[in-house]
Chains A and B, each alone.
Chain A
Amino acid sequence: MNEKEKRVAAVVSSAVGTVLFASVFLTACMPAEKKATASSSSLKPPAERKVAPDFALKDADGRTVRLSDYRGKVVLLNFWATWCGPCRIEIPWFNEFQQQHRERGLVVLGISMDEEGWDVVKPYVTALKVNYRILLGDEMVADLYGGVSSLPTSFLIDRRGRIASVHVGLVSKSVYEREIEELLAQGESSGGRASGADVVRAGLGANGGGAQGARSVRGAR
């Protein structure tokens, strides 16, 4: 974690004889931009949405998954970790969303930020009966999405591959329900698929914004 996100200062002083006293002050602060989005619950207007950076990550079976694989779908992209208590609350919600809205074009992708990798993630995912795809993340993909300095952090991505909302920290289930419903409704008249022009425009944006990061992610593995 960098200095903006957390400062850990240690102040060490000695007392008499063989008794030492050391103080370590643990201070942590979220970046200002993260705080600003923590309570956001409304979708950004389509014209203000930025293209979600593409990435390539491995799933539990070793298959490479790219965000661009899901163009035309509404994607709930959730950064989480097994050690994150608030993240655990959301998992049953996301299971429910995936089951209820899969046919309408919702895809939930969970990006685990566990440093220990699949050894800890697989048993956890099994225990919680996660029904959506879990990918193993790293700092490269986190950087693509603004650093993801705290968890959970979730992005709702519209059918054109653009970020419609960001939630840092635990928000209520109803916020997700409302936003997912709204995003699913957008584009349903075209059968859940974006138009050809939309796909081209979004694809160019993803390449421009995410190609370098995707290479980095692959290179790191």
Chain B
Amino acid sequence: MRAPSEVRASRGGAAQVVIGLEVLEGYHVNSHTPADPYLIPLRLTWKPGPAEPVEILYPEPKLEKFAFAAKPVSVFTGKFAITTRFRIPATAPLGPAALSGRLRYQACTDSTCLPPRTAEVRVPLNIQP
């Protein structure tokens, strides 16, 4: 993980975080809304911190047909992004802080699946008056 540049946000203002992801060719990850309840959805969650997540926006999933499923599966492949909109409370402490989150995902190919994994996401934030 490469440390990000400092990002500035204002007390009482808003911030937007875009998580760009790239899935290795030949693999897919389940979308955030898999039709099958047994499939593990892609999920970004944020820990309580200096900013409050207001909305997490996932892209439109692809419905792809795989040999292992009778119906198309809702997936993400290749490059895509997840956007989170944050609200900075008026009482947020000033100065450097960080947004910490977790990205849960589970990847498969057409014939095999990898175990579900969780990637830590950390975004430095500097809150200004």
Q: Which residues of A contact B (CB under 8 A)?
A: 1, 5-6, 8-14, 17-30, 38, 81-89, 113, 115, 120, 124, 149-152, 168-171
Knowing that A12-B2, A18-B16, A20-B16 are A-B contacts, what are 11 other residue pairs whose CB atoms are under 8 Å apart, sorted by A's residue number? A9-B1, A14-B4, A14-B7, A18-B13, A22-B4, A22-B17, A22-B20, A24-B19, A26-B119, A38-B112, A150-B115
How far does the Cβ of A91 sit from chain B's closest Cβ, in whole Å? Answer: 11
Which of A22, A82, A171 is the most central at the interface, judged by chain B CB atoms within 10 Å of its CB? A22
8 A-B pairs with least C-beta separation: A12-B4, A169-B112, A23-B20, A170-B111, A14-B5, A10-B1, A169-B111, A84-B113
Which residues of chain B in 49-99 are interfacial with respect to chain A, using CB atoms and an 8 Å cutoff?
Answer: 66-69, 73
Which residues of chain B in 4-59 are interfacial with respect to chain A, using CB atoms and an 8 Å cutoff?
Answer: 4-10, 13-24, 27, 29, 36, 38-40
Out of A27, A83, A170, which one reaches B106, CB within 8 Å? A83
Q: Given the complex, which residues of B lie within 8 Å of A115, measured CB to CB?
A: 116
Which of A28, A87, A88, A151 is the most central at the interface, judged by chain B CB atoms within 10 Å of its CB? A28
Whether the pair B3, A12 counts as a contact (CB closer than 8 A) is: yes
How far does the Cβ of A56 sit from chain B's closest Cβ, in whole Å? Answer: 22
Decide yes or no: A8 and B119 within 8 Å by CB, A22-B17, A23-B19 being known contacts. Answer: yes
Interface SS majority for chain A: mixed
Whether the pair A25, B22 counts as a contact (CB closer than 8 A) is: yes
Count how many chain B residues have C-beta atoms less than 8 Å from C-beta atoms of the other chain: 52
How far does the Cβ of A120 sit from chain B's closest Cβ, in whole Å? Answer: 7
Out of A12, A26, A81, A83, which one reaches B24, CB within 8 Å? A26
- The distance in angstroms between the C-alpha atoms of A75 and B84, with both chains bound, is 49
Can you report 19 residue pairs joining A to B where beta carbons are below 8 Å apart?
A10-B2, A12-B1, A12-B3, A12-B122, A14-B4, A14-B6, A19-B18, A24-B19, A28-B27, A30-B112, A81-B115, A83-B39, A86-B111, A86-B113, A89-B67, A115-B116, A120-B38, A151-B113, A170-B110
How far does the Cβ of A10 sit from chain B's closest Cβ, in whole Å? Answer: 4
Decide yes or no: A85 and B122 within 8 Å by CB, A1-B115, A20-B17 being known contacts. Answer: no
